[in-house]
Amino acid sequence: MVISELAWQQRELYRRKSHSLAGRIVSIAKPHVRPIARGKAQGMYEFGANRTRENLRYCQENGIRLFGPKLGRPLQEREKNRERLRQQRRTEREDERTRIVVEGKFGEGKRQYSLDRIGTKLRETSESAIQLVFLVMNLMVMYWKKAKAFFAALMETLFELVRKRFTTQTLQLLAA
């Protein structure tokens, strides 16, 4: 099925004398993966699941705001829409702050948890592998919080023991 679709796409590209085609397959092993233009130092493109109309509709229905330039002509700042534009800029700044944190977590996942080396072939297993990476990342946060609380309690107990011992020895020396 993937090979026949790829062959059709190649014939279509040749017939049109074009280099682009919507939904173009770039990996026989992972036909659901699409190139995403990033323009980073390592390469012009990253490969991952593509944003679809279904994704956009889901986000809109669930009140999820997407970051990025709006489609269409930007609003001209006029008296009647000035407050709306201010609110929009404020919302965009808040979204940017949130996005920075989220992007940082993706970077952490790539650096420390091999999120950039998902080797599964099917879409469902790739999604499962990604979900497992984020599960492990969340478990590590919980682990470090518990470990920090444990060591804080341990240090407090040790200091209390040392203080009692020191106080007892000091009183004995003073009494002698």
Predicted pLDDT at 53: 75
Classified as helix, coil or strand, 37 is: strand
Predicted pLDDT at 144: 92
pLDDT at residue 79 greater than cutoff 80: yes
pLDDT at residue 62 greater than cutoff 80: yes
Cα–Cα distance measured from residue 125 to residue 84, given in angstroms and rounded to the nearest whole number? 43
Taking the CA atoms of 9, 15, 20 and 21 in sequence, report the sign of the dihedral they define. Answer: negative
Condensed to tens digits (0 to 9), the pLDDT of residues 82-126 reads 888 889 889 889 888 888 888 889 889 989 998 888 888 888 888
Predicted pLDDT at 150: 93
Predicted pLDDT at 176: 67
Whether the Cβ atoms of residue 73 and residue 66 lie closer than 8 Å to each other: no
